Chains A and B, each alone.
Chain A
Amino acid sequence: MRMNNAIVWMIIGMGIVTYLPRMLPLVLLGRVELPPFWQGVLKNVPYAALGALIVPDIFFIQDDIFFGVIGFAAAVITAWFGANVIIVVLAAVAVLSCYSMLI
């Protein structure tokens, strides 16, 4: 087990600053009743977060912007017709595999 001390300390530091934001709200807000407006905001967060996690990054996954555009379209279409999340993932990957064979 070869490890460099400085690297190990860096990893531990990174672990702490990653864990705290994940843990503090869940533990501290556990018993707190927020005002209704902020409860509403927090319930909105997942849908907004998904929007921000998808766009614009998906269009830049490869240098060729069509790669992202085609993957986006494939996923939206399969999801629109009610496919399970895993099917959506596999369909997008399959469509892009075909595309990358064509170019």
Chain B
Amino acid sequence: MSVNYLIKKIMSYFFILLFAVWCLFPIYWLLSTSLKTNLQTNSKPPVFIFKPILDNYKLIIQDFDIWHIFFNSLIIASGTTFFSLFFGVPAAYALAKFKFKGNTDFSFWILTTRMAPPIAMLIPFYVMYNKLGILDTHIGLILAHISLNLSLVVWIMRGFFEDLPKDIEESSYIDGASYFSTFYRISLPISRNGIVAVGILCFLFSWNEFLMALILTDDSAKTVPVGISKFVGFQLIKWAELAASAIFMIMPIFIFLVFFQKQLIKGLTMGAIK
């Protein structure tokens, strides 16, 4: 081991740790603020060592509005995930496995639907929803979120299906299975990891999406990000309570990430690109 090698190792550890601190600090700060008293959050210099309290959480879980927002997000994100997968996965399979005229154009068209700045869709959506009477409803926002996530599902799953070994399917055809039963019985089960990963991504994007939710919902279908932003606007002084509600409302995503982290990385890195 040369000195050179040692220096390189130390440098690399240094950067790796530094980046970890950078990634964690804002989350830590939000969490620690949520465990302070309002007085401590407004002190100068900032308080680093303090006795954590749960009062802010006790306060917010009694707040009906927060549960309302929470369940809205749960319904909308689950609905979006289910329908995006239901419609997107078959399309991705057809695009990955069959060469036909216009295949790449079709794929590109699907990608362009994601490029569109949401505002370009939202103004017409707003006008149409207004006419249809589905402004501020779950189904209205689910539809809008599908328009964002379908392309993601198709693109990632297309890459994933392309990477599946061809011989499994070919032997299924030789056994006389139809295209559909091969897709359903062979290709889908072995792509489980990819589908779970894409599903989690859909859930995450829908849970975190802000602009559509801001415009298309008002009160009865208001989601987590809109809720947080409204709190920020109205009660900027009560940092501790606000931080507690923010932490509370991003919890589900964190739990997801902890449980499915391996699958998420595996699913993504296997099929994201090719």
A and B form one complex: no
B residues with a Cβ closer than 8 A to A are: none
A residues with a Cβ closer than 8 A to B are: none
